[in-house]
Chain A
Amino acid sequence: MLQHFRKYTMLIALVAIWLIFTVLTEGVFVSPRNLSNLFVQTVAVAIITIGMTLIIVTRNIDLSVGSVAAFVGAIAAFLQVKTGWPTPLAMTAAMAAGLLVGVWHGFWVAYRMVPSFIVTLASMMIFRGAVLGITGGATIAPLSDAFRSIGQSYVPPHLSVIIGVFAAAWYLFAHYYKRMLRAQYGFKVTPLLIDIAKTALMILVAAGFLAIMVHNRGIPYAVLLMVILAVVFNFIARQTVFGRQLYAIGGNPDAASLSGVNIKKQIMMLFAVFGGITAMSGLVLASRLNAATTSAGQGMELDVIAAAVIGGTSLMGGEGTIFGSVVGALIMASLDNGMSLMDTNITYQYIIKGMILLLAVWVDIATRQKQG
């Protein structure tokens, strides 16, 4: 019972936070327009949190995400605005730069044994400097319409609905297929009725989410990107050899190594992939701001780490889920959004966010002890 409660603590907390803000803002908080905004605001942090979860699971950390995201955005903006590259090409180049930064981190952490804290602290400074260099200390703007659309445009409502229907169909199929396979292996399957109720509930929640989006202007592209990344990385984390080995490395590096896990190679790979994820977030960020600025992404690493930890990722390694981290990012964004709506003094915004981080981790630790 307690275990189930723990799994959903943060989800319950998220709903509670939404209810509180709904009451305090007299309903403005749950208006489709605001919720749609809230999700868009979540994206930049949530995308990185998805990757950061796996980084933390392996007992590493990345403090450079804010600087690297800004760096990637600056490269894309520079190429597109100053040298007139076509948008797709500029973005591809920026993505490649992100990947290279990831490889650089991986090299130092995995093959030169420098703690990731130090490697990425160095990068935090290095790439903030690089941003200043590329932008010449000034904002690069405005971006082309195509570039802006990733962060600011919406999938048209009718197309959104079609996507929703396809996603539901795919979900049902995947679920049914899995059930069938389990039955083939002769394992017990959940009673059909309960299974139907569960999937129906999931689809209902997703449909509600879709309805809110469509009611506004459709699914924002950025949110679509976030959902796809979350699904893909959830799969990678749970069902690929790579993902499984990351959790083993974090849980017990000695045992993993003696079991034949090539720790260096996997850590290298993880950082490279994470560079790519950070780059995507950087592009979304630049696109939303419609500019590459020198201060973009400052302090982002703290939001990201806080979101991952609130979502149940353990800094001791070996524990954490993608789903939990997305919820954590949503909690952080909801606090920002709700308090801004209420015009809360920025002083209290920081204090409240800090207190909630502390409280969330304490609840996690306290329930864990009772369990053990």
Chain B
Amino acid sequence: MPDDNILEMRGISKEFPGVRALDDVTFSVRRGEIHALVGENGAGKSTLMKVLSGVYPAGEYSGNILIDGREIRFKSIKDSERASVAIIYQELALVKQLSIVENIYLGNEIASRGVINWDESVKKAQDYLEHVGLKVSPVSPVSYLGVGEQQLVAIAKALSKEAKILVLDEPTAALSGGEAEKLLNILKKLKSEGVTCIYISHRLKEVFDIADRITILRDGKTIATRDKAELDENKLIALMVGRELTNVYPRKPHTPDGVLLEVKNWTVYDPDINKTIADVNFKLYKGEILGMAGLVGAGRTEFAMSLFHFWGRHVSGELFLEGKEISPRDAGEAIAAGMSLASEDRKRYGLVLAEDIKTNISLASLHAIAKNTVVNENEEVKSAEKYSKELHIKAPSVEQQTEALSGGNQQKVVLAKWLMTKPKVLILDEPTRGIDVGAKVEIYNIINELVDHGVGVIVISSEMNEILGICDRVLVMHEGRFTGELKIAEATQEKIMYHATGGK
């Protein structure tokens, strides 16, 4: 008997300027199965689902999509919903101020002549909520619910649209163990009722618990589709990471010497997003590049931000810089003490886009180039030009607005800003995200040079190659805890992935 495929995606390719995000991807899902889609960060899972859901409308990708054997061409999300595809995203698309029932029927109201029939809506919503095992009143506001319960509301909403294919993108990322288990049970129940489910997750244990088949993507290509029985965790990890190391990494031998920064019992909790950094302890040596590996959402960014009191409501722990305890209360004090953090999100936390290069570079060091609080503009231009030259920032002058620069050059401006503060500890969060290879190598060279001058550099990166290519030592984080420490000589992609998916 031929496969009864509810969904077939054939030869899907999608390009962004400079990147081929999907390259001839083939992906088919059988009716009534739970099909897991796994891969590293940036493997193309989310992009593929956006193609499926019409976020990227027909014409913006190449290839064919067949649902129930019929070719479809979605022009918008509305179209895909009509074809019974429902996607539940990592960041939930619920309006927190509205009630559950209002959310479930938002954009899909039960109404006649524009007047909503609330009694009918509430009654039906009640049914869907029971279906997903949620025992709350449909009229209570979504903001009263925990993240796990909101997840279930999102599923109820999808069911209300009579979704036949349910796509869940990292649904358990923000859930506690108990909540996650509950969610998985609901999915199994829905499966028994004939709902087909595409399940994207970094948690391999869940994947093995719930999936019937698994498709692995890597670098925008389909690597394999296998029955669960054919795989175990190690085999799966090997398929996910098994790529050749490209040699763009200018590794230099460093000679770390003396403890520069020590973090003791660092614990952070933020009730708003139910995320915890628990009991982090580590040392950073002078002249060392320390990598922090892990999957997206592991808590590395939040940890770095919390050192600057930029994230987390309850922060505790001790911080020693060159043997002396420091307790910065905000970013200004941390910078003054000698720590700098270049954020992963350069548009949000890095640049003032409306301002020019020199103004951005000097922003964190204004006091250093000011006398009696009057900024020495000549000194500013001189410094900006010096760093511009050292970092090969490509722009007609330092008076160029940063908005007009390419991603790589913007990243270099951010880097220049932090170099100008003359940090002892420099934390780089995804320093090469979204920039081309040439600029990457230049940034690695700059990092190497800093390390030669005794700076301790922490590189947070989700790119395994980068971690293995430039770091001297690797810490791996999983759900707010360090689950492994590896010397670079013993580190492999498989070992890192093992720790990053929760193995200790």
Distance between Cα atoms of A245 and B370 in the complex (Å): 13
Check A240–B375 contact: CB distance below 8 A: yes
Check B373–A240 contact: CB distance below 8 A: yes
Would you give the 0/1 interface string for A87-104, flagging 1 where the beta carbon is closer than 8 Å to chain B?
A: 000000000000000000
List residues 329-366 of chain B with CB under 8 A from any CB of chain A.
330-336, 341, 343, 348-355, 359, 362-364, 366
Known A254-B349, A255-B348; contact A248-B363, beta-carbon cutoff 8 A: yes
Q: A182 near B: Cβ within 8 Å?
A: yes
- Choose, from B129-137, B141-149, B377-385, the stretch at the interface: B377-385
Check B349–A255 contact: CB distance below 8 A: yes
Return the chain A residue nearest B377 by Cβ. A239
- Choose, from A118-126, A139-147, A258-266, A343-351, the stretch at the interface: A258-266
Interface size on A, residues (CB 8 A): 27
Distance between Cα atoms of A256 and B330 in the complex (Å): 12
Check B355–A258 contact: CB distance below 8 A: no
Check A258–B341 contact: CB distance below 8 A: yes
Distance between Cα atoms of A372 and B404 in the complex (Å): 9
**Hey, which chain A residues are within 8 Å of B115, CB to CB?**
none
Q: B417 near A: Cβ within 8 Å?
A: yes
Q: Is the interface of A mostly helix, strand, loop or mixed?
A: helix
Check A260–B335 contact: CB distance below 8 A: yes
**Hey, which chain A residues are within 8 Å of B343, CB to CB?**
258
Question: Which among A241, A256, A258, A262 is the interface contact of B375 at CB below 8 angstroms?
Answer: A241
Most chain B beta-carbon neighbours within 10 Å: one of A251, A255, A262? A255
**Hey, which chain B residues are within 8 Å of A256, CB to CB?**
352, 363
Would you give the 0/1 interface string for B308-333, flagging 1 where the beta carbon is closer than 8 Å to chain A?
A: 10100000000000000000001111
Distance of A166 from chain B, by nearest CB (Å) = 22
Distance between Cα atoms of A262 and B363 in the complex (Å): 12
Known A240-B375, A241-B366; contact A260-B352, beta-carbon cutoff 8 A: no
**Hey, which chain B residues are within 8 Å of A241, CB to CB?**
366-367, 370, 373-375
Distance of B383 from chain A, by nearest CB (Å) = 11
List residues 12-70 of chain B with CB under 8 A from any CB of chain A.
none
Would you give the 0/1 interface string for A311-323, flagging 1 where the beta carbon is closer than 8 Å to chain B?
A: 0000000110000
Distance between Cα atoms of A177 and B349 in the complex (Å): 37
Check A262–B332 contact: CB distance below 8 A: yes
Distance of A201 from chain B, by nearest CB (Å) = 23
**Hey, which chain A residues are within 8 Å of B355, CB to CB?**
247-248, 251, 318
Distance between Cα atoms of A152 and B364 in the complex (Å): 46
Distance between Cα atoms of A110 and B105 in the complex (Å): 39
Return the chain A residue nearest B385 by Cβ. A187
**Hey, which chain A residues are within 8 Å of B335, CB to CB?**
259-260
Distance between Cα atoms of A262 and B333 in the complex (Å): 10
**Hey, which chain B residues are within 8 Å of A247, CB to CB?**
352, 355, 359
Interface size on B, residues (CB 8 A): 36
Distance of A283 from chain B, by nearest CB (Å) = 27
**Hey, which chain B residues are within 8 Å of A242, CB to CB?**
373
Known A245-B366, A251-B353; contact A257-B310, beta-carbon cutoff 8 A: yes
Question: Which among A181, A239, A258 is the interface contact of B374 at CB below 8 angstroms?
Answer: A239
Check B366–A251 contact: CB distance below 8 A: no
Check A260–B336 contact: CB distance below 8 A: yes
Check A244–B375 contact: CB distance below 8 A: yes
Distance between Cα atoms of A372 and B401 in the complex (Å): 11
Known A181-B378, A244-B359; contact A258-B310, beta-carbon cutoff 8 A: yes
**Hey, which chain A residues are within 8 Å of B417, CB to CB?**
259
Question: Which among B332, B349, B354, B375 is the interface contact of A251 at CB below 8 angstroms?
Answer: B354
Distance of B357 from chain A, by nearest CB (Å) = 14
Check B382–A255 contact: CB distance below 8 A: no
Distance between Cα atoms of A245 and B366 in the complex (Å): 9
Check A255–B378 contact: CB distance below 8 A: no
Distance between Cα atoms of A368 and B200 in the complex (Å): 42
Distance of B222 from chain A, by nearest CB (Å) = 38
Check A239–B375 contact: CB distance below 8 A: yes
Distance between Cα atoms of A167 and B310 in the complex (Å): 47
Distance between Cα atoms of A319 and B363 in the complex (Å): 16
Check B308–A185 contact: CB distance below 8 A: no
Check B366–A258 contact: CB distance below 8 A: no
Question: Which among B334, B336, B352 is the interface contact of A252 at CB below 8 angstroms?
Answer: B352
Distance between Cα atoms of A209 and B348 in the complex (Å): 46
Return the chain A residue nearest B343 by Cβ. A258
Distance between Cα atoms of A259 and B335 in the complex (Å): 8
**Hey, which chain B residues are within 8 Å of A252, CB to CB?**
348, 351-353
Question: 11 additional contacts, CB 8 Å, given A239-B377, A242-B373, A256-B363?
Answer: A182-B378, A239-B375, A244-B362, A244-B363, A247-B352, A247-B355, A248-B355, A255-B348, A257-B331, A259-B364, A260-B364
Closest 7 CB pairs of A and B: A260-B332, A251-B352, A259-B364, A260-B335, A252-B352, A185-B378, A241-B366
- Residues of A whose CB lies within 8 Å of any CB of B are 181-182, 184-185, 187, 239-242, 244-245, 247-248, 251-252, 254-262, 318-319, 372
